[in-house]
Structure 1
């Protein structure tokens, strides 16, 4: 008798490969963001949470831009072609997806940092705070 895992068989390998390969176009992870920031980031990291949460702890180098404030006029501050990476509190929060959707609707290239603040801390990386 199949379990809940095997009751629906896995997708064919070719379809699974296509699916998982595509995910890298939509998201990155905390480790890669950390490494890229250390080397000189070629993207803008957006913390899309509110200012109070940002002040209590954020990824060093991130810019606070709550997802509700992502509008064309604000985004025109960056050169055309700038890549954005959004993050929020973590896997239990959909703020990063909300911010990424707003950026995509503006025609801007975007990825999500999977794990958000929770993932960042889980990796052992430090947070910056504001006074």
Structure 2
């Protein structure tokens, strides 16, 4: 529900508990994964980053999560689809 309400444009909703070698194998080799969650009070991004790194996938954590994105006054997408970032 939080993803549908607002998310970073282009972001896919993939909870850390759903990260597996099989699922992540669908992305092209060398894909850099950027993970985030609600904000500094949330550890979902840390858990996702750990699982991705454990699968030897390149990963970065977006510090601040949604709260940091909002603090920078950046645009959000909403709905079930990733949406696109438009200038």
Tell me, yes or no, whether TM beats 0.5: yes
Structure showing the higher strand proportion among its residues:
1
Listed as ranges, the gaps of 5+ residues in structure 1 are: 1-51
Task: Give the structure with the larger helix fraction.
Answer: 1
**Ranges of 4+ aligned residues in structure 1 off by more than 4 Å:** none
Aligned to 1:91: 40
Structure 2 unmatched runs, 5+: 81-87
Q: Which gives a bigger RCO, structure 1 or 2 (Cα 8 Å, sep 6+)?
A: 2
Report the structure number with the largest CA radius of gyration. 1
* Secondary structure of the structure 1 residue equivalent to 2:67: helix
**Equivalences, count:** 80
Q: TM-score, normalised by structure 1?
A: 0.59
CA RMSD of aligned residues (A): 1.0
After TM superposition, the score normalised by the length of structure 2 is 0.88
CA distances 1:66-95 after superposition (whole Å, capped 9, x unpaired): 111011111011111111110000111111
